[in-house]
């Protein structure tokens, strides 16, 4: 299905191949197409729309190695697929402003991979690897990363804006998992809610005291402890009980 913007980007006399940019279908860039429309006002206006730029094409051609600024480089003002995007970023040829100006749908104003960028086309792998996807930082974070895992570009349907794996999400999941594991060295055991204290009600005081102590004893029984610690706990229990009895007697 051809949507508004496709015809404007078509090349007369040639059958154009349509590929997905991760959100909608676009015309595939071919040798000789050159750079896309660089009208700044039009680019800024297009960035605020869901459809994006109506005439920019998808670049999935062979990326020059090495990339030489202004001489041997991918076309500007196009949508880069994952392999080309990583090559451009990893080349360190361009400033942050140039990255966000030439390829604003791939890089943000800081020169990092856009967090909202869907994966496109060919994946990018680490050097000398065919299984480990390359990654790039998001918002200058040491944890958040973008994974260039690619996305099939031949689908004729609109692909969802699926997000890439982030190391930050993985780290957060580990933190949450670790927080659920109770450690006897630094975690207070769960306390049972004691009965409300009423002056003169010795039974309520003793019930609340023993309830909390029973909970501590249950948690402590999960692992062996040195004998001196157990002795100290018994002394503490006696001292606390005596203090409560004295407090109760003084209130009557």
Q: Model confidence over 156-179: pLDDT tens digits?
A: 444 344 444 444 455 555 555 555
Query: Average pLDDT, whole number, for the chain?
Result: 74
Whether 224 has a pLDDT exceeding 60, the answer reads no
Residue, of 214 and 155, whose pLDDT is higher: 214
Q: How many CB atoms lie within 10 A of CB 58?
A: 25
pLDDT at 189: 46
Q: Model confidence over 131-154: pLDDT tens digits?
A: 899 998 876 566 778 999 998 755
- Residue spans per domain, the chain: 1-181, 202-251
C-alpha 49/C-alpha 105 separation (Å) is 12
44 HSE (CA, 13 A, CB side): 4
C-alpha 116/C-alpha 67 separation (Å) is 26
Q: Which residues, in sequence order, are bridge partners of residue 27?
A: 18
Q: Model confidence over 50-78: pLDDT tens digits?
A: 889 999 999 999 999 999 999 999 999 99
Q: Model confidence over 65-112: pLDDT tens digits?
A: 999 999 999 999 999 999 999 999 999 999 999 999 999 999 999 999
pLDDT at 61: 95
User: Could you tell me which residues come within 8 angstroms of residue 210 by beta carbon, excluding any fewer than 6 positions away?
Assistant: none
15 HSE (CA, 13 A, CB side): 0
């Amino acid at each position: 299905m051809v949507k508004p913007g496709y015809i404007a980007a078509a090349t007369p006399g040639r059958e154009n191949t349509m590929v997905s940019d991760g959100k909608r279908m676009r015309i595939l860039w071919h040798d000789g197409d050159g750079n896309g429309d660089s009208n700044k006002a039009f680019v800024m206006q297009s960035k605020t729309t869901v459809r994006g730029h109506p005439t920019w094409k998808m670049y999935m051609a062979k990326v020059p190695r090495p990339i030489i600024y202004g001489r041997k480089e991918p076309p500007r003002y196009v949508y880069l697929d994952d392999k080309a995007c990583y090559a451009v970023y990893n080349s360190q040829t361009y400033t942050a402003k140039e990255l966000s100006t030439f390829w604003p749908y791939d890089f943000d104003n800081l020169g990092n991979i856009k967090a909202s960028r869907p994966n496109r086309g060919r994946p990018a792998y680490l050097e000398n690897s065919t299984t480990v996807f390359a990654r790039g930082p998001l918002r200058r974070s040491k944890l958040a990363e973008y994974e260039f895992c690619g996305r099939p570009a031949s689908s004729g349907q609109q692909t969802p804006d699926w997000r890439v794996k982030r190391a930050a999400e993985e780290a957060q999941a580990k933190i949450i998992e670790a927080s659920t594991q109770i450690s006897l060295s630094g975690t207070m055991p769960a306390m049972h809610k004691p009965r409300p204290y009423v002056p003169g009600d010795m039974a309520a005081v003793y019930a609340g005291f023993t309830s909390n102590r029973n909970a501590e004893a249950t948690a402590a029984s999960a692992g062996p402890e040195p004998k001196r610690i157990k002795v100290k706990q018994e002394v503490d229990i006696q001292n606390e009980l005596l203090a409560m009895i004295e407090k109760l007697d003084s209130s009557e």
